[in-house]
Amino acid sequence: MSTVVITLKGAALQKLIKTFNSQQVASKNPYITFAAKVDKVMISVYTSGKVVFQGEKAEEVAKYFGYQAPDASIQTAPAGQKLALIGSDEVGNGSYFGGLAVVASFVTPDKHALLRKLGVDDSKRLTDANIRKIAPILKQEIPHRALLLSPKKYNQVVGAGKQYNAVSVKVALHNQAIYLLLKDGFKPQKIVIDAFTSQQNYQKYVKQEVNQFDNPLTLEEKAEGEYLAVAVSSIIARDLFLDYLDQLSQKIGYPLPSGAGQKSDFIASQILKTHGMAGLAETAKLHFANTKKAQELLRKGN
């Protein structure tokens, strides 16, 4: 099955919808505004304007709406990632508020054109708004496993005298996400994690985990820019982190910022004032220095 992604707007998009209106099918995906099944090709129109064609004749149908097949002679990926890859990345580690999201994704070379069309290779330059538009397509197209450690659970297991520290908890989450993908039957030729610690440190901590696998893996710095599989995981993880941050904001009654700056200190002090330490433990990673700063702000009456 092939997949084609194009961007349509205005009259061109309306033409597609009008053409396939009689073949429209229902979709439960909130980011899909129109879906149709045509000659064994599934057509999905996303809120971002991206149109995804899936099926054996995806390219043939997409050509009627301006799609041009890429030149096969053009190299589309660095030699190092012309493999079936599992790439893993985490988001939320540097943010005081919100959970810790870890995603492992399985990407094969036949998906590279799709990912580049979506802009995944430029993921570091994507805004949060763009990430939230792209992530639903990636979730549908790319096999992945996503894990989210809530602040409440994080505070229970991370810290002095507890089961994990700030590094070993990430090792545990990456290991579990990759383990679950392998258990699903995917067979990568390489496994890459965006480096957050040394290879030696990772191996030391991973020995403590119940679930183990024999596949070799590497930790590489700036892997998000080198491997599409890692970039995919980064985007899905960021989307997961942001969604959960929104949920926590609604629950606690304050707009929780991403990051760990002065704004976080002030919001934390207000949460302490209205909800106490229990409220902060539900929304923030307490071992961050922001906790003491928030307590000091509250003491000073700010």
Q: Is 194 labelled as part of a ligand binding site?
A: yes
User: What is the third-level CATH fold of 85-248?
Assistant: Nucleotidyltransferase; domain 5 (3.30.420)
Q: Is 220 labelled as part of a ligand binding site?
A: no
pTM of the model: 0.79
pLDDT of residue 77: 44
pLDDT of residue 68: 78
Task: Give Cβ neighbours of residue 154 (< 8 Å, ≥ 6 apart).
Answer: 99, 100, 169, 285
Retrieve residue 126's tokens.
């994507």
Q: Are residues 108 and 228 in contact, defined by beta-carbon separation less than 8 angstroms?
A: no
Q: Is 243 labelled as part of a ligand binding site?
A: no
Retrieve residue 17's tokens.
């919808």
pLDDT of residue 1: 61
* Domain residue spans of the chain: 2-64, 85-248, 255-301
The CATH number of the structural domain formed by 2-64 is 3.30.310.10
pLDDT along the chain (302 residues), means of 10: 81 91 89 89 88 87 82 45 91 96 96 89 80 92 97 95 95 98 95 94 94 93 90 96 97 96 96 96 96 94 70
Q: Are residues 30 and 83 in contact, defined by beta-carbon separation less than 8 angstroms?
A: no
What string of DSSP letters covers the chain? -EEEEEE--HHHHHHHHHHTGGGB-----TTEEEEEEETTEEEEEETTSEEEEEETTHHHHHGGGT--PPPTTS--S-GGGSS-EEEEEEE-TT-SBS-EEEEEEEE-GGGHHHHHHHTGGGGGG--HHHHHHHHHHHHHHS-EEEEEE-HHHHHHHBSTTSSB-TTHHHHHHHHHHHHHHHHTT---SEEEEE-SS-HHHHHHHHTT-S-------EEETTHHHH-HHHHHHHHHHHHHHHHHHHHHHHHHTS-PPSSSSHHHHHHHHHHHHHHHHHHHHHHB-TTSTHHHHHHHHHHTT-
pLDDT of residue 262: 95
How many residues are listed for the chain in this entry? 302
